[in-house]
Amino acid sequence: MRRLLFALALVPMLIASLAFAGDAEVKAAQTVIDSQLKAFIADDGAAAYSFAAPNVKQIFPTVDTFMNMVTNGYAPVRKPRSYSFGKVEQTGPGSIIQQVLIVGPDGKDYEAVYTLQQQADGSFKITGCSLRASASVST
């Protein structure tokens, strides 16, 4: 009976620790996105590239090819006027989807959806980003 009560007493602590671990992963992923966006704004291609996951680096093997892709296809991400984090979803252990609401250089609203994966060293890297114009209007 004592073992059962002890086990039941541990359940809330276990749930709380899992939630904390999830919050820590989300915060780490958001820090990676924020750092990459700040690197883009500062025109620091090498720093921005450092947050890309191996799958992205395989497709864009140099900083220059990566930055050309971002500049030509992701102008709102490359030079946002402002941005904020939206919805987030953990799709599995070490796997996060993060919405970022962006006001682009043209003053229009965009939604960027980032996918991130935790690497073997524990860091998060960006595995992809999809961008679309948003229906909302900035003020």
Is residue 85 in a domain? Answer: yes
Count the neighbouring beta carbons within 10 Å of the beta carbon of residue 80: 21
| Structural domains counted in the chain | 1
Is residue 102 in a domain? Answer: yes
93: domain range? Answer: 2-133
Contact 131, 76 (CB under 8 A): yes
Angle at 52 between CA 31 and CA 21, to 5 degrees: 40
- pLDDT of res. 122: 96
Half-sphere exposure of 66 (CA within 13 A, CB side): 27
pLDDT tens per residue across span 9-40: 444 443 333 344 489 999 999 999 999 999 99
Is residue 7 in a domain? Answer: yes
Structure tokens at 70: 């971002």
Q: For residue 102, give the CATH number of its domain.
A: 3.10.450.50
Is residue 95 in a domain? Answer: yes
Is residue 88 in a domain? Answer: yes
Range 101-129 average pLDDT:
98
Is residue 139 in a domain? Answer: no
- pLDDT of res. 1: 55
